[in-house]
Amino acid sequence: MTHMNTRKISHIRPAERGQSLVEMSLMLVILLTILSGVLDLGRGFFSYIAIQNAAGEGALYAAINPRCPHADSAPAGFDCSNPNNVDYRAKNESPSGGLVDPAQMSVQVFYADGTSEYSADNTLEGNPIEVKVQYRFRLIGPFSPILPNGELVFTATAVQNILDLKPD
């Protein structure tokens, strides 16, 4: 029988004892930077989808009730207070307390003639009505200094045709 030497061989010199710790700490910085960038990318994607949903909800409500684009723009005889307006419906499409801040949204409504002012002539049944939602998305990761103010502006547009409109 052959006798094998089972003695533990250790060739680590005293100067190399902290090398693994230093390598790990350097790689950890790089990995955490990449991870925070991926998290910002995920938040941005979620916000963009939420803005698209907000524009769609606003356009659908505008097709049903084209007289009330904003709470302060009610024609005589119509109640456009919250929640009876496009602006409120679009901004509150996303769940409250989520990743999308309604205060960072702006909602614009455009009628068939290209203006944003309501008139009986531009709200005929079948005419298109467009809702444009802009959202200022703030990055929180280490890549935010790359962009002006650390923000991206997302824009979503949805168009619907005005539905069976009751006469004024």
Q: What distance in Å separates the CA atoms of residue 160 and residue 137, rounded to the nearest whole number?
A: 26
Residues 6+ positions from 55 with CB-CB distance below 8 Å: 90, 131, 132, 133, 156, 157, 158
- How do residues 9-34 score in pLDDT, each as one tens digit? 666 666 667 888 888 999 999 999 99
Report pLDDT digits (tens) over 28-68: 999 999 999 899 999 999 999 999 999 999 999 999 999 88
Task: Identify how many contiguous H helices and E strands the chain contains and give both numbers.
Answer: 2, 3
**Cα–Cα dist 42/131, whole Å:** 25
